[in-house]
Amino acid sequence: MSKIYVNVIGAGLAGCEAAYQIASRGISVKLYEMKPYKKSPAHHTDKFAELVCSNSLKARRTSSAAGLLKEEMRMLNSLLIKCAYKCEVPAGGALAVDRDLFSDAVTDEIKNNPLIEVISEEIKVIPEDSVTVIATGPLTSDALCSDIVAKFGGSLSFFDAAAPIITAESIDPETSFAQSRYDKGDGDDYINCPMNKEEYELFYSELIKAERAPLHDFDVADPKVYEGCMPIEVMAQRGEDTIRFGPMKPVGLRDPRTGHRPWAVLQLRKENAEGSMYNLVGFQTNLKFPEQKRVFGLIPALKNAEFVRYGVMHRNTFIDSPRLLNADYSLKTNEDLFFAGQLTGVEGYMESASSGLLAGINAAKRVMGLETVVLPTKTMIGALANYITDETVTKFQPMGASFGLLPELENRPRDKKLRGEAYASRSLMFFLISKQKGYE
């Protein structure tokens, strides 16, 4: 009798979560990962579950959409959530991690699992020898992407960007101050880089005319840019106050030097547990490296900034999931084949992992001959799966966790916080009631 196993292609966030969920159900996994022999343009290490854009996993409170998603994952025994809390760094109301420690923790869990065989190999053609989960991410290799398009069609692309990282010691202490917005967190989770009106106007004028890096392998005449990772220079072109009411908003902050709210603020978030590196929050960019140093150096606190990593822009590919996938993440034309992660059009670290979690559960159920799980739309995981597989969606674009995806509440509170708590209570009650009904 041949051994029962599941193929998982890709050891990113979704792939690792899928492999873990399958192995947790006693099923062997062949996990294929092309690193270290081949890396995508956005990856820098040989580790699994590498965080490319930011080290923030968004809000932690369950009354927020992002926090509810993480709590649902925790209740479903998520590997990524467990590792994230082991590696967290202060970030006010957000859950942020030391990205190296996080990747180390996930890699160790996967490589030390006796039911998971890691195979360092680039998969160029979809395997047909077993139930398979494809979780190759937004930078799926050209060869596999071509095979997916040839077999199923519907491959789409947009641009994604990452923010720069600088050293802590290079931040000017005389023109910066530590404070979390609205004093959430421990008070020093963020370093704030304030600007007055004149400083901001100079920065803005240089930002919108700064030289950008060339974009490769795209139709640069009409690039698609995802709103959630909009480069700061692209956002700025929408108007002088756009970024001042966006990533550089000063609300909830007070400059101790003046006693007043600044005109604009760049926030820096800890990148690692030691606090030796900081991420420029909301400053995803495609400026040329010298331009990043020059323009961002116009922010007084960054006049001597030392860049550990410059911001970059890269391709982000996803399939036409509303036409191709079922709500259990299986392919409509071949239910032994599952897709997971950003390749499906879910957008965000934990959103990607949540799709891997559900795809992994269902891949295990498939090989065991059990009915797969489709979570109700009143849960955030189920609502995301429903959105990306909704055939009525005509102009499909990536989607992150949002209360707008959930069915309306029967008695909708007018207060936003109470409304979030009501959404969360309804969702989490489902998981409590259904704990023994096969969703584990």
Tokens representing residue 126 in the block: 């979809």
User: In this predicted structure, what is the pLDDT of residue 437?
Assistant: 55
3-state percent helix, strand, coil for the chain, nearest multiple of 5 = 35, 20, 45
Mean pLDDT for 310-327 is: 87
The residue assigned the tokens 């909704």 is: 390
Position 399 scores a pLDDT of: 81
Q: Residues 314, 157: contact at Cβ < 8 Å?
A: no
Task: Confirm if 165 and 308 have CB atoms less than 8 A apart.
Answer: yes
C-alpha separations of 436 from 51, 71, 128, 399 in Å: 33, 18, 33, 30
* CB contact at 8 A, 125 and 289: no
Residue 271 is encoded by which pair of tokens?
């990148």
d(CA 318, CA 186): 38
Contact indicator for 269, 190 with CB cutoff of 8 Å:
yes
Query: Higher confidence at residue 153 or residue 99?
Result: 99
236-281 tens-digit pLDDT: 999 999 999 999 999 999 999 999 999 999 999 988 777 888 999 9
- pLDDT tens-digit profile of 106-153? 999 999 999 999 999 999 999 988 999 999 987 888 899 889 888 887
Confidence of residue 218 (pLDDT cuts 50, 70, 90): very low
Does residue 372 carry a pLDDT above 90? yes
Q: Which residue has the higher pLDDT, 344 or 397?
A: 344
Range from 214-223, 312-321, 373-382 that averages highest in pLDDT: 373-382
Spatial separation of the C-alpha atoms in residues 382 and 377, rounded to whole Å: 5
Contact between residue 53 and residue 162 where contact means Cβ atoms under 8 Å apart: yes
Mean pLDDT of the chain: 88
pLDDT tens sequence across 80-94:
999 999 999 988 888
Mean pLDDT of 6-24: 97
Query: 3-state class of 373 per DSSP?
Result: coil
Q: Is residue 391 over pLDDT 80? A: yes
- What pLDDT, on the 0 to 100 scale, is given for residue 86? 95
Q: What is the mean pLDDT of residues 369-377?
A: 94
Q: What is the pLDDT of residue 1?
A: 40
pLDDT at residue 411, rounded to an integer: 85
> For residue 427, what are its two tokens?
């969702």
The pTM of the whole model exceeds 0.85 = no
% of the chain with per-residue pLDDT over 70: 90
For the segment 187-196, what is each residue's pLDDT rounded down to a tens digit?
567 899 999 9
pLDDT for residue 216: 56
What strands lie across the sheet with 165-167, from one edge to the other? 177-178, 190-195, 264-270, 277-280, 165-167, 307-309
Output the pLDDT for position 42.
54
**Residue 224: what pLDDT?**
57
- For residue 89 the two structure tokens come to 């760094």
pLDDT at residue 425, as a whole number: 94
pLDDT band at 222 (very low <50, low <70, confident <90, very high): very low
